[in-house]
Copies of this chain bind each other. A is one copy, B any other.
């Protein structure tokens, strides 16, 4: 693999994910130390960033773009187990092998640290270790939420749940539009959606069409989604009704 490496990265102070990533809690001096060991890497859409089973020699944060975590069985069945959006962390300090494939689904930029220096720094910097625990707990919550989707929801509810999640994450990264409605681009193909939802791509397609026919969503092209009434979408998703974002 021939991956471009940009040693020159923006200063952390101007970083778009400064306040949401592992470094969120860092003080100026800690940030400076991180800045010395960090480097940027870019990957193109479709590239595999990490292969399941490989030794991982770096960890890092998604700065921009989208990646997925997937597991594959011997016979080819695959299940997505994580969706990595900007500010999400990749890698597991203290572990060697990578348990999943990490694949870029759009062009992506990552802020990387070599694993050993990062681990050292983590041991000396409670702010980082603490933030990482917090983020890991969030991911665990998300994974468990997703277990309910996979285990108990119908195809229609699954699609609606996915749209809610992507829309919500999208909203948290961009200035608010009119509340109650939502507009975004899907960062996933129908096949990737199917892999996330434990469905086939045909079922995904059918249910997208059904939601469109029922006026729950509008589609401009294949990827651009308009949700006129978020409440209705959440009803379809079968989620608790309060409509409150996690914050």
Contacts and interface: CB of A to CB of B under 8 A. Distances in A.
Interface of A: 69, 71, 73-75, 77-79, 81-82, 92-95, 99-100, 123, 126, 129-130, 132-134, 136-137, 139-141, 143-148, 150-152, 197-198, 238, 240-241
B74 A151 contact: no
Nearest to A197: B151
Contact of A240 (B74, B79, B82, B129): B74
A78 B139 CA distance: 21
A99 to B, nearest CB: 6
A48 to B, nearest CB: 18
Contacts of A240: 74
Stoichiometry (number of copies): 2
A96 to B, nearest CB: 12
Contacts of A148: 71, 73, 79, 81
Given A129-B126, A129-B133, A143-B144, A152 B100 contact: no
A74 B157 CA distance: 14
B74 A152 contact: no
A141 B82 CA distance: 11
A170 to B, nearest CB: 22
B150 A77 contact: no
A79 B151 contact: yes
A186 B83 CA distance: 34
A77 B73 CA distance: 28
A78 B153 CA distance: 10
A121 to B, nearest CB: 13
Contacts of A241: 74
A58 to B, nearest CB: 17
Nearest to A133: B133
A43 to B, nearest CB: 22
